[in-house]
Structures are given as C-alpha cells and as structure tokens.
Copies of this chain bind each other. A is one copy, B any other.
C-alpha cells in the first residue's frame, strides 16, 4: 500500500464554498480561478452548486454501514475496500493529483461554513489522508508527514470584521489562531502546508471599488504563487516535541502557550 500520493506538477484544485451567485466570493472565485488557470491546470469544486453532502455518517461506510465499531476505523476499512461515495472519491482524486489546493470561503462564526467542514470531515478519510506509523520513531506520520505531504494550500477567506478586530489582541481573536484547526489540525496533520492566509476584511459593506481592489489583490497574489514561500509548522517527526509527551520541548519558546509556538520559524 502506498503511503504517499504523488502530486502532478502543475495541477491545482480549488474548493469554493459560498451559496450565493451574486456574492463577493463568487466574484473573487471567477477572477481567481481564471488567474490560476494561467499557471496551473485547475480542477474546481463548487460545493453548494454540486450539492455536496457535508454530514459524515453511515453513507461513508460502504457495505459496513450499520456495523458496530469506531467510525474512523470503519471509514478506513471502507476506503481500503474501495467503497467510497462518488462525490467524495472525486474530491480525493482531485486533491491527490494537485500540488496546490485553494480553499475559499466566507468566515461564518469565526470558522469555515459547515459545508467546507464537511468536505474536511468526509474527504480526508482514514487510509486516504492520514499517515501510518514511522518505523524509526514509532510516532504516527502526522503533522507534516501525512499521505498528502508535499502540497501547499492557499486559503482565501472573507470576513465581516476589520483587520484589528481579527488581529493580535483583537476582540474576535486573531485569525491565524481561529483558523489553526483548519491550517494545522486538518491540513498540516495530513502533510499540507498552508501559505499565509489571504484575507478580505470588512467584506460585508464592500463597494464596487473595494471589490475591484480586492479582485486585483487576489489576482496578483495568485500570479506569484509558484514562487511564494510559506511559513510551515513544526513536523512531529523532527524532534521538537517529546516522543512520549507530544508537547513542545521546554527550551523552545519557554513559557509561551500561544498557538504560534507551533510554527517552525
């Protein structure tokens, strides 16, 4: 069994999540995917338009539906049997082929919409995305070393709050921390490195000029993606965390408990 999906150079997969055809997000999506298509072969998922089902459940167990047992193990068995729902299989194939993933969504209640969370819950299936054990250390291949390692992700997110409200010490919490479950807990867990967030602040009241400015800014960002360098988190296998405790070495950022300690720096 292969422990790693080899990406195809020049392939990108854009997962778009917004329900409304006249939204700022749709405008950014249309311009952004066109810009991306100049540099990558792009596959696209428009989750609302496709009617993607976000609730992981019995349907994800194939012929094991209704069998007793642990959900993660059963989905892993279903994956090994090739019993994967077509809408999930399609996402897995496009994600496995891509070297670049784009996740675009509006910030709802300081996180991704349920639709995108469901894409994470269902597509990053045991057996497909999660790494096995590393023989040398006995540690699981996770956080930097999953089956999808070697990929990068651009997160494009629109927010109603302004930049200070979502910045360090802002009342809403800083956006890097709010999205840590996505960038670190989901993407980095399976080996995908998230680039710096691409955030559109004050998105609710944006006017036509602001929309054009943000479109231009996104297109410029996308033009530079092939050369862009990210800021990776620490790899579990690199020894920064205790092998038994899985907590950060006390000599690294001593005393700090904010989530930014997990950047490799």
Contacts and interface: CB of A to CB of B under 8 A. Distances in A.
Interface string A180-202: 11101110010000000000000
Interface in A40-84: 48, 54-58, 68-72
B72 A204 contact: yes
Contact of A54 (B20, B54, B182, B260): B54
Nearest to A260: B257
Q: How many monomers of this chain does the complex have?
A: 2
A133 interface: no
A22 to B, nearest CB: 5
A8 interface: no
Interface residues of A, number: 66
Contacts of A22: 68-69
B111 A181 contact: yes
Contacts of A124: 109
Contacts of A189: 109
A45 to B, nearest CB: 14
A15 interface: no
